[in-house]
Amino acid sequence: MNSELLKKYDALSPEGQQEVDNFIDFMLIRHKKTFDIKSWKEKIKDVSVWSEEDVKVFDENQQLFNQWKTEEW
């Protein structure tokens, strides 16, 4: 099995081999990864929170955008 797989791998272009390498790395990381609730709780604390004042700017810009007259051709 290993020799068949190696022959197929060797038949790929360098770009194809890199893609296979990247996929294998991704699969290894995915299967080794376990959910760490403690780490997640620490990360979620750093998520930014927008105040009503922050959101107000977007609401005002949306109103101005909606009032914008497009040029007719």
Q: pTM of the predicted model, to two decimals? A: 0.42
Write out the chain's pLDDT in tens, 73 residues.
678 988 999 999 999 999 999 999 888 888 877 777 888 888 888 888 889 999 999 999 999 999 888 888 7
Least Cα distance to 19 among 66, 31, 27 occurs for 27
Neighbouring CB atoms inside 10 A of 20's CB total 14
Per-residue confidence (pLDDT) for residue 59, from 0 to 100 = 93
In one-letter notation, the amino acid at residue 33 is K
Residue 40 lies inside a defined structural domain of this protein? yes
Per-residue confidence (pLDDT) for residue 35, from 0 to 100 = 75
Per-residue confidence (pLDDT) for residue 48, from 0 to 100 = 85
Residue 73 lies inside a defined structural domain of this protein? no
Residue 19 lies inside a defined structural domain of this protein? yes
Residue 48 lies inside a defined structural domain of this protein? yes
DSSP tag of 45: T
How many folded domains does the chain comprise? Answer: 1
